[in-house]
Structure 1
Amino acid sequence: MKVTALWRHPIKGHGREALPRVTLTEGLSMPYDRLWAIAHDAAKAGSSEWAACQNFSRGAKSPALMAISSSLEEASETLTLTHPDLDDLTVQPDADPKALLDWVSVLVDDSRAQPVRILRLDGRGFTDTPFASISLCNHASHTAVEALSQSPLQVERWRGNIWFEGAPAWAEFDWIGRDLKLGTSRLRVEARITRCLATTANTDTGVRDVDTLKALNMLDHQDFGIYVTVIQSGDVTVGDELELI
């Protein structure tokens, strides 16, 4: 098996960025992944603790957010966000939260809770799990969903961190509790990932166009990908071997 892509999502639910390599640290999530999140006006989330995804603006509620792409300059923590319907925005989320909120507010459904605060959680980020997780996705499983839905799908819909090829479709579900060697790091497979409406949105347009959940439910589940934790720090590069231990 081989790593084909690495992705991070600096702001939870608001864009993604492809990477050539990454350094993983034991007990932490991918660096800068979900470092920030945008809390809405019905949120009960605090300023420095993990909170569930229901507290944040996200693609499941406002599909237009799914068409955001991002690029992070790490030294200054400056983000550039792009969207097909908006001018690009370059911003430091901590220094100028108003500019970020004004930009994303245009993309949030008027019938939904509106974005009001930028939150930051160093080290583990606002992952979808109460533990510091990284998500792995299998290209063969993606192809299987395309066949079930009878439609091509962008891999970005799944918001995965690490993509791999070389395993049969859905083989990753049998790895729960097992360890993986990836580059010089080691990971432990923790759980399957249950999917939401965000995956039904086209990541080029931000419009819901394919019922991915209906396709998954043809298999009597709504899962795609697996959550892993880092149990040994190390480096991972696109093209590295992925080995089940």
Structure 2
Amino acid sequence: MHVLILGGTAEARALAGLLHPHTRVTSSLAGRVANPRLPEGEVRIGGFGGPDGLARWIAEHGVDRVIDATHPFAERISFNAARAAATAHVPLLALRRPGWVPAEGDDWREAGSLEEAAAALDGLGGRVFLTTGRMGLAVFARCPQWFLVRSVDAPEPPMPARTEVLLDRGPFTLEGERELLRRHRIDVLVTKDSGAAATAPKLRAAREAGVPVVVVRRPPVPQGVETAASPQEAAAWALGRTEL
């Protein structure tokens, strides 16, 4: 059996490690990160050319099952995967880590998009910690606030005029996030609901410091696509087992 895993997330790497001893696995990475952490098994880097290209690749390489383990906000590839799997007549599963849940003392403001998040900044503070990744910064370009932008790779313009870029990769520690908020005098945090444990300490640090958080809601999984919440659950599905 040949399983195609879409995505370079920590969950995707864990899933490849679980499947690799049992079956052929190919992990497909988008190639947006300069030095990605590579999973076990076969790896391909780059796009497929849309859903039709992905469907052709699935057929040409004898793929039996597809698991979409991309970032929860990789909406385009998720919908391409759904169309491609339907075209190629192969089962598709979406692996989605659970989203974050506010705790007592949190001051969260939900936003449906980055545009809504930018609009929500008015009146919240003048020094923003922006952790939404290096893409999509253009929507904040006209904001008057000062921004600390953290991303794995350097973002490209357009971006806010008053911006400091911090290149770093998680996992992040609670003590490190506390120090970052203090040192940069952050008074508002903007993040996506990625749900990752590696980046969750910033939420506790913000709660402790009384810093409001603008949380961008994740897009829905394509209609009709089955989901799994953990690599173990996804691996069991791929191998046709009740559990792993």
Q: TM-score range by the shorter chain?
A: under 0.3
Greater fraction of residues in strand: 1
Q: Radius of gyration: which is bigger? A: 2
**TM-score computed with the length of structure 2 as normaliser:** 0.22
**TM-score computed with the length of structure 1 as normaliser:** 0.22
Greater fraction of residues in helix: 2
